[in-house]
Amino acid sequence: MESGAGLVAVVAQCAMAGFIGGLCFQHWTAWHDDRGNRGAFWLMLWSAALALLFGVNAVQPALPAGPVDEAALFVRAQLLAAAILLAMPAIRDFTRGRPIRGHLLVAGALFGVRAVLWFTTDLVYTHTAVEGVPQYGPLVAITFFVPAAVVFWYGVVSTMRMPSVRTRYGLQVAGALSIAGLLVSFLLPNGRIAELSTSVWALPLVAYLQAMRILRIRAADAKVLHQHRLRESLADVGRAAWSTSDRLELLELAQTTARRQIGDDSITGSMSALPGGRFSTSFTCPPELLADPSTRDFLDDLSEIVATATERMRLAANLSAAAFTDALTRLPNRHALELHLVHALARAAAAGTRLAVLYCDIDGFKQENDQHGHSWGDELLRRTAGHVRAGPSENHFAARFGGDEFVVVQEDIRSRDGLLALAHRIRTDLDLTGTDQIAPLISVGVAFWEPGDSTGPEELLRQADTAMFEGKRSRVGVVVFDDALRARMRADQNLRRELTDALAGGEFEMYYQAIVDAATLEVVGTEALVRWHHPDGLRMPGYWLGFAEETGLIVPIGRHLVRAARAGAHRLGLPVAVNVAARQLAEPGYVRALREDWGEGDWHLLTLEITESALLQDLAQVIDSLITLRALGVRISIDDFGTGYSSFARLAVLPVDVLKIDQAFVRDLDEPGGVAVVQAIVSLAKAHGLDVVAEGVERIDQFETLVDLGVHKLQGFLIGRPTSAASLPVELTAASFGRVVESRTRRESSA
C-alpha cells in the first residue's frame, strides 16, 4: 500500500465508485419520477453494481490477509460478474436490441460455474497471496472471458441494429476499450499495475453510455417541450374555433400554425364536404416530415379540430336557421321577425324614414283546411308565403307569424299610396295556378311608423293586428290603423283588464231562469245565465261576451261558471243548463277540464247548451267530446236551433238530447211562417226522439200556441226572469206565473 501504484489504484477506485454512485443516484431519481422508464431502472442497477465493485476494489488492498480478504475477493468477483450481466439490459434498452433472456441465462450459468470453482478448487483462485497480491488459478481468465464474450457478442449484435451509425460506432468503440481494459487487468501479471487496470476498464463504456443518456434526456426534454408547444398550438386553434364562424378563416389559421410549429412553409391545408353534413380536413407536407410521429399526430389532431369545428359551425348554422326559419314555408319565423323589426325601427329612426307593418291573414283558411285536407292547407300556406315574399324592393321583409298569419315589414316608404297598393295586391293577387282551387282573399292590416314616433315593435305589431281584424270583421279587406282603431284598441285593452280583474275578484255571478213543464207547470230545470257585477253597475253578457270569446278569456270564465253552476244545482236541487261557446269546445282537453270543474257524480244535473257556431268547428272533435260527455250522463242541447245553416244536415250524426227553439221563432208565432217553423222543429225532434224547449216566452198567447204545437217545456219572462239561486223559489210564486195558471184553468174549463 506504500507504493505509488497502489495509492493511485486506491484513489482511482474510490473516484470511480463515487462518480458512478452519483450517476446511480441520478438514474434512481429519473426512475422514481417515472416508474415506466426501464432505461433509467437498468442503468441504476448497472451503476450500483459498478459503484459497489469499485468500492470493494478500493478497500480490498487495505484488508489483512485471511478470511476477510478472501471474502472481499469473492464479493469483488461476483460484483464484476453482476456488472457484466447487468450491462446486457442496459445496452438492450439503449439500442432497442433483441431479447436478452437466452444470452443472460448462458452468461449467468457460466458465471455461476466460476463461483463454484472459486470455492471448491484452486483453478480460479489459489486462496494464497504473495506480498499481499492475490494469486489466481489457471482458469481465472477463461471462466471470465467466456461469459463476458457472450455479453460482448450480444452488445455487438445489438449495436448493429441501431439506426444511427455514429451512435453505433461510438458505443462499439467504448465497449471495445472497456473490454480491452478488462483484458489487460487479467493478462498482466499479478501486481499493482494489474490492480490499477481493474479500476479504469469500465470508464469508457460508462462514460459513453452516461453521455448518451444525458443527450437522450436533453432530447426527451426538447421533445417534451416541442410536444407541449404543439399541444398549446392545438389548444389555441381549438379556442379560436369557438370564436369564429368562418370555416375558411379557421383553416387558414390552422395552416399558419402548422407551418410555424413544424417549420415548413410548404404545408397546405384543404377541406372537403362528406355525406351527412360531415367534413374532412387534411394537411399535406414533405414525406420526410411525416416520418416524425409527433408531426403526424399533430397534423392529424389539427385536422380533427378543424373538421369537428366546421361540423359544429354547420350544425350551429342549421340550428340558427331552424330557430329563425319556418319549417313549412322557409320564411323567417316570428323570432326572426321580432329581431328584424327592432333593427328596422332603429334604422328608420337613424335615417328619418317611414316604415310600415302589414299584418296578413288568409280568409277562411280553417274551412279550406277542413274541406280539402291538411296537405292542401300546407300547400296554400306555401303559396301564400311566396306571394307575400314578392316585394317591390330590397327593403321588403316577409315572415310567417304563425298559423295562417304573415307579416310584411316595408322600410323606407316614399309613398303611402304605393304601400296601400302593395297591401291590395297581397289581398287579391294570390296565384294558385296549377290547382283547381279558387284563391282566397287575404285580410291585411297596415300600421305606419313615422319619424319621431315612440311606438315600439310589439305595439306596432298589435296595431297592424288590430287593423287586420277590423278588415276581416268589416269585410273591407285592407284597413289602416288610425285614431279610431287606436281608441278601440285601448277600449279592448281596458275591457280585457277589467274581465281579468273581474274573474280574480269574483264579480261574476250565476243567475237562473226556470224551465217548466207546460202540462204540469212544474219547474223541471233551470238555465244558468252569467251576470257581471261591475263596480259601475251590472253589465249584461251582450256587452262583453263576444270580446271574451274572441280573446279566449271565455275559457277561464267558462270554467269558473261551471263550478258555480254545480253549486247552484245542488242548492236548487234542479238540473242546470250551462252555455258553452265555440271557443271553449274547441279547446284541447275541454272534457278533462269540465270533469275537473264539475267534480265527480251528479252528471244528470248538467245540460250543456251548444251554440250552432260551435258546430262549425272540427265536427269530428266536437262529436268525440259530446259522446264522452253523454257517456257520463250529461245532456246535450243545441241552443237557438234553426238559426244556423248546418244544424238540420248534421242533426242525425250529433249526439244531442234537446233542441232549443230560438226566441226569434217564438216572437214570430203571430205569423203563419213562424208557426210552420216551430212545427217543423217539433216534428224533427220527434223523429229523432229529442226533447224540445222554447225560450223567450213572454206572452200568454205564445205559451198557449207552443203548447198546442207540442212544445212541452217552456222558458221566458212570462214564467220567470233570471234571478239568483236564493231568489228563484220566490220568483216562481210571483203574479206573472200565476197568470199562466189562470190561463191554463180557463182553457181546461172551456174544453
What is 31-53 written as a DSSP string? HHH-TT-HHHHHHHHHHHHHHHH
Most confident range, picked from 258-262, 312-316, 348-352, 669-673: 348-352
pTM score: 0.52
Could you tell me if 355 and 267 lie in one domain? no
The strand pairing partners of 530, in sequence order, are 510
Kindly report which listed range (318-322, 416-420, 564-568) carries the lowest average pLDDT score. 318-322
Could you tell me if 347 and 436 lie in one domain? yes
In a domain, 563, yes or no: yes
Could you tell me if 604 and 707 lie in one domain? yes
CA–CA gap between residue 247 and residue 100 (Å, rounded): 54
Would you call 161 exposed, middle or buried from its count of C-beta atoms within 10 A (0-12, 13-18, 19+)?
exposed
In one-letter notation, the amino acid at residue 590 is Y
pLDDT at residue 469 is higher than 80: yes
Q: Which long-range contacts (C-beta less than 8 Å, at least 24 apart) are formed by 747-751?
A: 747/704
pLDDT at residue 408 is higher than 90: yes
pLDDT at residue 596 is higher than 90: yes
Q: How many C-beta neighbours within 10 Å does residue 273 have?
A: 11
What mean pLDDT do residues 706-726 have? 89
In a domain, 211, yes or no: no
Could you tell me if 433 and 508 lie in one domain? no
Could you tell me if 106 and 242 lie in one domain? no
Could you tell me if 12 and 127 lie in one domain? yes
Here the CATH number for the domain that contains residue 743 is: 3.20.20.450
pLDDT given at position 566: 93
The whole-angstrom distance between residue 222's C-alpha and the CA centroid of its chain comes to: 43
pLDDT at residue 733 is higher than 60: no
Out of 145, 171, 201, a domain closes at 201
CA–CA gap between residue 419 and residue 339 (Å, rounded): 22
The strand pairing partners of 406, in sequence order, are 360, 400
Smallest CA-to-CA distance from 700 within 737, 646, 668 is with 737
Cβ–Cβ < 8 Å for 557, 500:
no
In a domain, 488, yes or no: no
What mean pLDDT do residues 194-210 have? 63
In a domain, 209, yes or no: no
Kindly report which listed range (238-247, 377-386, 573-582) carries the lowest average pLDDT score. 238-247
Could you tell me if 583 and 634 lie in one domain? yes
Tell me the pLDDT band of 165, cut-offs 50, 70 and 90: low
Total residue count of the chain as it appears in this document: 751
pLDDT at residue 670 is higher than 50: yes
pLDDT given at position 3: 54
Kindly report which listed range (105-109, 246-250, 438-442, 496-500) carries the lowest average pLDDT score. 246-250
pLDDT at residue 7 is higher than 80: no
**Residue 41 is part of which domain span?**
4-201
Between 227 and 203, the higher pLDDT residue: 227
Cβ–Cβ < 8 Å for 671, 664:
no
Tell me the pLDDT band of 2, cut-offs 50, 70 and 90: very low
What mean pLDDT do residues 153-180 have? 71
In a domain, 214, yes or no: no
Greatest Cα-to-Cα distance within the chain, rounded to the nearest angstrom? 172
pLDDT at residue 394 is higher than 70: yes
pLDDT digits (tens, 9 = 90+) for 249-300: 778 888 888 788 777 787 887 777 777 667 778 787 777 777 677 777 878 8
What mean pLDDT do residues 327-351 have? 92
Q: What percent of the chain has pLDDT over 70?
A: 85
Could you tell me if 470 and 401 lie in one domain? yes
In a domain, 390, yes or no: yes
Tell me the pLDDT band of 57, cut-offs 50, 70 and 90: confident
DSSP characters over 84-143 = HHHHHHHHHHHHT-S--HHHHHHHHHHHHHHHHHHHH-SSSEEEEEETTEEEE-TTTTHH
Could you tell me if 554 and 644 lie in one domain? yes
pLDDT digits (tens, 9 = 90+) for 622-660: 888 889 999 999 999 988 776 655 556 567 778 899 999
Q: What percent of the chain has pLDDT over 90?
A: 28
pLDDT digits (tens, 9 = 90+) for 78-129: 887 887 788 778 777 767 767 878 888 888 888 888 888 888 888 887 877 7
Tell me the pLDDT band of 69, cut-offs 50, 70 and 90: confident
Average pLDDT of the chain, as a whole number = 82
The strand pairing partners of 525, in sequence order, are 515
What mean pLDDT do residues 477-503 have? 89
What mean pLDDT do residues 53-70 have? 74
pLDDT at residue 539 is higher than 60: yes
CA–CA gap between residue 284 and residue 428 (Å, rounded): 61
In a domain, 699, yes or no: yes
Cβ–Cβ < 8 Å for 445, 465:
yes
Cβ–Cβ < 8 Å for 147, 84:
yes
Out of 289, 323, 357, a domain closes at 323
pLDDT given at position 263: 78
Between 7 and 236, the higher pLDDT residue: 236
Could you tell me if 123 and 181 lie in one domain? yes
Out of 323, 342, 358, a domain closes at 323
Cβ–Cβ < 8 Å for 324, 340:
no
pLDDT digits (tens, 9 = 90+) for 117-158: 888 888 887 877 776 667 778 887 788 778 877 877 877 777
Could you tell me if 503 and 404 lie in one domain? no
* Total of domains in the chain: 4
Here the CATH number for the domain that contains residue 372 is: 3.30.70.270
Could you tell me if 26 and 142 lie in one domain? yes
Between 437 and 60, the higher pLDDT residue: 437
CA distances from 62 to 57, 59, 72 (A): 10, 6, 11
In a domain, 421, yes or no: yes
